[in-house]
Amino acid sequence: MTSSKWQFQTEQSLVESHGLKFDEFEKIVEGLGREPNLTELGIFSAMWNEHCSYKSSKFWLKKLPTSGDRVVQGPGENAGVIDIDDGDVAVFKMESHNHPSFLEPYQGAATGVGGILRDVFTMGARPVANLNALRFGEPNHPKTKHLLSGVVSGIGGYGNCIGVPTVGGEVNFHPSYNGNILVNAMTVGIAKRDKIFYSAAAGIGNPVVYVGSKTGRDGIHGATMASAEFDEDSEEKKPTVQVGDPFTEKLLLEACLELMKEEAIIAIQDMGAAGLTSSSIEMASKGNVGLEINLSKVPMRAQNMSAYELMLSESQERMLMVLDPSKETMARKIFKKWDLEFEVIGRVTDTKKLILIMNGKEEASIPINILVEDAPEYQRDYIIEEPSPIKEYLPEDFDQSEIIPNLLSMIAHPDLCSRKWIWEQYDHMVMADTVVRPGSDAAVVRVHGSNKGLAISTDCSPVYCKHNPYEGGKHAVVETWRNLVASGALPIAITDCMNFGNPEKPEIMGQFVECIRGMGDACSKLNYPVVSGNVSLYNETNGEGIYPTPAIGGVGLIKDLSNVKTISLKGEGNYLCIVGKSNNHLGNSKYMTIIQKKEDGGTPTINLDEELANGHFVLELINKQLVMSSHDVGEGGILIAVAEMCIAGNLGLNIDEDKEFSHRYFFGENQSRYLIEIKQENFEQIKQLAKSKNISFEKLGEVNQENIRINKSNIIKVSELKRNYERGISEI
């Protein structure tokens, strides 16, 4: 391998198999002043891959709003932290485990959950809720059933055992995921504001302690694998998938939280992607210090492990800490009580280098700043493609007599049907603080020992994003915001999980740039900043990229749990009303994709001023106790939202006959709308209030006992809808 400056000893194939480009290798040599040895090459490979370095995305991610009154910690730590009053904080993040889950769905999904849980309890928070955002290929694709059942049991297997409820999430199906599913896992934890733990190492001479499971040869190069595209031979990469042990994680969780009650931990970092490498380097870099690690001391599961293997293993359920030396004995006792490994493997130094020793021999010596600050960062070329044009559809474009049959087909479709088959496999009630179970707009968990709660929701519409990445990015943010509002929560902040194809393709990079721009605009307008996140690129198989999928997880605060709202209709005779304008946008709706089987007509646009005003109006009504139930109008439009409310409440609705009897009215997906159930006697008062605030508000119909009635020849029994709704996913 040669360049204009150097004649390298290192084989080109070795560099390439580490996922490093020629100019990146040059940069390493320049930084070190020599060629790296194999261990060092492995370390650079692990730190500079897309997954760990964010080299393609960093420049754009910086454009997202990340600050706000309630933001305690924005992006850059293990998880984001927001203030939820009374000295409490919520700690949360969402992360992808896409590539491993496609190779080995059970373990891939399980270790995804394990990893995100660790990110949250590393910061001193007790995890209180897990959620997920899942995308699979077409329902009838030969792999979908296997992947869906594997992922669901993996998520359940891990979360159920560790005893953190899996309270919500989303799943949808699209051919663009046939060869590359998405598994995004989110964890929310609760801590005290004055007891948050960070990763910056400090105190020259302080012990660096390894705790948790032993290190084996599993998951070596996992993060590098996750930064490459798939092809036919990807099955061969299965050995890079880690194996999860939720029982050990439960012990690690309890031991860490027990130790965190003492003033013993100076810094702590979980060993996630790129294991010991990224954890030690992040701790050193954040603390602006060096670390010297004696690898012979690392607890090993296999014999004769090399320095290279130890540094790159992604064995699960491990943590690295810097301890106050006077607390070492006490800390050791706690970990022994929980039957976990506890080993001092190194010291904090003032060299600002990562120095690795094994069997008395120096295996690596790398200045930390070369690894971190000097890591490659790219402003990749991008092309912003013209969004698909918006089309107007007329009532006579589709056969109106089909509206009720269409409703039945849509509600049974895997994208819209009940997810009960999935969430019944998740323990969603352990910890006994679940207030709103899966199946509503947002899940709600109580903050233990108080009367307040957190509402949490995950969302994204990849079809919207594909056809208009800017509006799609806005939508993903706004949809979670709306879900939180509909549940009665004050939305506070989001975490994002950016799943895209190969960023080296300008059109993919263009999708990324536009989604970020849309998200940023929505976050700014709604005062709903990004506090944590993760980027997963190269989601491609045989050169075919997934649809752009910026999955968003939103968290909101409910100050008084008696104000929680669910989607289930409450009483006969109540009015169901629509907040927000209905302007009949049918493009790229579920009606188009499910019934017309095409993506056409353009993505709906969002007026963020209206969005904000409508949301605040709904919250005001909820806080005035005027709302019986509420639901945002999302995928499938008004009629699907009505059906979901009826099914959940075992009640029906007489829809007023003045409504336009058309597909575009009943299935149109224009944005910023809610359905709210109110008492008849409050209708005039609310109408006046809406008028005074210039909010569009109208009655849709009146709640009845058993059917949805559009007019005298279009009636459907709710029990029949329910049968179709519940059949759905289990039939895949």
Partner 1 sequence: MKTHVVVFPGSNCDRDVAVAIEKIIGSLPKMVWHKDTSIDQSDLIVVPGGFSYGDYLRCGAMASTSPIMKSVIENANKGVPVLGICNGFQILIESGLLQGALMRNSSLSFICRDVIIKPTNSKSIFTNKSKISKMPIAHNEGNFFASDDQIKKMEDNEQIAFQYCNENGDINDESNPNGSIKNIAGILNQNKNVLGMMPHPERAAENIHGCEDGKTIFESILN
- In the set 427, 514, 540, 669, which binds partner 1 (CB under 8 A)? 427
Least CB distance from residue 251 to partner 1, whole Å?
6
Segment contacting partner 1 (CB under 8 A): 20-28, 419-427, 477-485, 648-656?
A: 419-427
- In the set 251, 260, 289, 703, which binds partner 1 (CB under 8 A)? 251
Q: Is the Cβ of residue 353 or residue 428 nearer to partner 1 in the bound state? A: 428
For position 431 contacting partner 1 by CB under 8 A, the verdict is yes
Least CB distance from residue 22 to partner 1, whole Å?
47
Could you tell me the two tokens for 121? 């309890």
- In the set 221, 446, 517, 663, which binds partner 1 (CB under 8 A)? 446
- How would you label 540-550 residue by residue, b for 16+ Cβ within 10 Å and e otherwise? bbeebbbbbbb
Q: Is the Cβ of residue 160 or residue 670 nearer to partner 1 in the bound state? A: 160
Distances, alpha carbon 107 to alpha carbons 97, 342, 348, 391, 599, in Å: 10, 26, 34, 44, 34
For position 156 contacting partner 1 by CB under 8 A, the verdict is yes
Is residue 85 a contact partner of residue 559, using CB atoms and an 8 Å limit?
yes
Segment contacting partner 1 (CB under 8 A): 108-116, 420-428, 489-497, 677-685?
A: 420-428
Segment contacting partner 1 (CB under 8 A): 152-160, 285-293, 481-489, 649-657?
A: 152-160
- In the set 44, 177, 338, 667, which binds partner 1 (CB under 8 A)? 338
CA 486 to chain centre: 20
Secondary structure (H, E, C), 659-693 = CCCCHHHHHCCCCCCEEEEECHHHHHHHHHHHHHC
- In the set 162, 182, 476, 509, which binds partner 1 (CB under 8 A)? 162
For position 261 contacting partner 1 by CB under 8 A, the verdict is no
Is residue 522 a contact partner of residue 606, using CB atoms and an 8 Å limit?
yes
Q: Is the Cβ of residue 157 or residue 346 nearer to partner 1 in the bound state? A: 157
For position 200 contacting partner 1 by CB under 8 A, the verdict is no
Is residue 669 a contact partner of residue 636, using CB atoms and an 8 Å limit?
yes
Could you tell me the two tokens for 234? 């990807």
Least CB distance from residue 564 to partner 1, whole Å?
9
- In the set 236, 263, 339, 386, which binds partner 1 (CB under 8 A)? 339
DSSP letter assigned to residue 294: E
The size of the interface with partner 1 (CB under 8 A), counted in residues, is 30
Q: Is the Cβ of residue 58 or residue 420 nearer to partner 1 in the bound state? A: 420
- In the set 400, 425, 623, 685, which binds partner 1 (CB under 8 A)? 425
Least CB distance from residue 334 to partner 1, whole Å?
13
Least CB distance from residue 496 to partner 1, whole Å?
28
Q: Is the Cβ of residue 161 or residue 490 nearer to partner 1 in the bound state? A: 161
Could you tell me the two tokens for 669? 């997906």
Backbone angles phi, psi at 12, to 5 degrees: -60, -40
For position 375 contacting partner 1 by CB under 8 A, the verdict is no
Q: Is the Cβ of residue 365 or residue 425 nearer to partner 1 in the bound state? A: 425
Q: Is the Cβ of residue 3 or residue 451 nearer to partner 1 in the bound state? A: 451
Segment contacting partner 1 (CB under 8 A): 151-159, 342-350, 366-374, 391-399?
A: 151-159
For residue 254, give the amino acid letter: E
Segment contacting partner 1 (CB under 8 A): 207-215, 422-430, 508-516, 628-636?
A: 422-430
Tell me the chain's radius of gyration from C-alpha atoms: 26
141 is annotated as an active-site residue: no
What is the spatial distance between Cα 546 and Cα 553, in angstroms, rounded to a whole number?
A: 20
51 is annotated as an active-site residue: yes
Least CB distance from residue 430 to partner 1, whole Å?
6
- Contact partners, residue 396, CB within 8 Å, separation at least 6: none
Q: What residues numbered 163-182 form the site for partner 1, per CB under 8 A?
A: 163
Q: Is the Cβ of residue 204 or residue 429 nearer to partner 1 in the bound state? A: 429
- How would you label 60-94 residue by residue, b for 16+ Cβ within 10 Å and e otherwise? bbeebbbebebbbbbbebbbbbbbbeeebbbbbbb
For position 245 contacting partner 1 by CB under 8 A, the verdict is yes
What is the spatial distance between Cα 593 and Cα 586, in angstroms, rounded to a whole number?
A: 10
- In the set 426, 470, 538, 697, which binds partner 1 (CB under 8 A)? 426
The single residue of 51, 467, 475, 663 carrying the catalytic annotation is: 51
For position 428 contacting partner 1 by CB under 8 A, the verdict is yes
Q: Is the Cβ of residue 288 or residue 730 nearer to partner 1 in the bound state? A: 730
- Contact partners, residue 161, CB within 8 Å, separation at least 6: 246, 247, 250
Q: Is the Cβ of residue 215 or residue 248 nearer to partner 1 in the bound state? A: 248
What is the spatial distance between Cα 581 and Cα 674, in angstroms, rounded to a whole number?
A: 10
For the chain, first and last CA: distance in Å?
51
For position 121 contacting partner 1 by CB under 8 A, the verdict is no
What does the DSSP assignment read for 611-648?
Answer: HHHHHHHHHHHHHTT--SEEEE--TTHHHHHHHHHHHH
- In the set 92, 173, 308, 423, which binds partner 1 (CB under 8 A)? 423
Q: What is the dihedral of CA 116, 120, 121, 126, to 10 degrees?
A: -110
What is the spatial distance between Cα 136 and Cα 402, in angstroms, rounded to a whole number?
A: 29
Segment contacting partner 1 (CB under 8 A): 100-108, 403-411, 418-426, 657-665?
A: 418-426
Q: Is the Cβ of residue 25 or residue 426 nearer to partner 1 in the bound state? A: 426
Segment contacting partner 1 (CB under 8 A): 38-46, 317-325, 429-437, 525-533?
A: 429-437
Segment contacting partner 1 (CB under 8 A): 296-304, 411-419, 430-438, 635-643?
A: 430-438
Residue 362 zone, left/alpha/beta (φ > 0; ψ -120 to 50; rest): beta
Q: What residues numbered 536-575 form the site for partner 1, per CB under 8 A?
A: 561
User: Which is nearest to 185 in space by CA: 124, 111, 85, 284?
Assistant: 111
Could you tell me the two tokens for 344? 């001092």
For position 248 contacting partner 1 by CB under 8 A, the verdict is yes
For position 454 contacting partner 1 by CB under 8 A, the verdict is no
Least CB distance from residue 162 to partner 1, whole Å?
7
Could you tell me the two tokens for 411? 């509600």
For position 243 contacting partner 1 by CB under 8 A, the verdict is no
Helical (H) or strand (E) element with 520: helix 506-526
- How would you label 133-171 residue by residue, b for 16+ Cβ within 10 Å and e otherwise? bbbbbbbebeebeebbbbbbbbbbbbbbbbebbbbbbbb
Segment contacting partner 1 (CB under 8 A): 432-440, 505-513, 598-606, 626-634?
A: 432-440
Q: Is the Cβ of residue 426 or residue 470 nearer to partner 1 in the bound state? A: 426
For position 387 contacting partner 1 by CB under 8 A, the verdict is no
What is the spatial distance between Cα 328 and Cα 325, in angstroms, rounded to a whole number?
A: 5
For position 246 contacting partner 1 by CB under 8 A, the verdict is yes
- In the set 14, 204, 330, 429, which binds partner 1 (CB under 8 A)? 429
SS3 (DSSP) at 281: helix
Angle at 292 between CA 286 and CA 293, to 5 degrees: 105
For position 464 contacting partner 1 by CB under 8 A, the verdict is no
For position 731 contacting partner 1 by CB under 8 A, the verdict is no
For position 106 contacting partner 1 by CB under 8 A, the verdict is no
Q: Is the Cβ of residue 40 or residue 427 nearer to partner 1 in the bound state? A: 427
Could you tell me the two tokens for 575? 């009015």
What residues are annotated to the active site? Answer: 51, 97
What residue ranges bind partner 1 (CB under 8 A)?
153, 156-157, 160-163, 245-248, 250-251, 338-339, 423-435, 446, 561
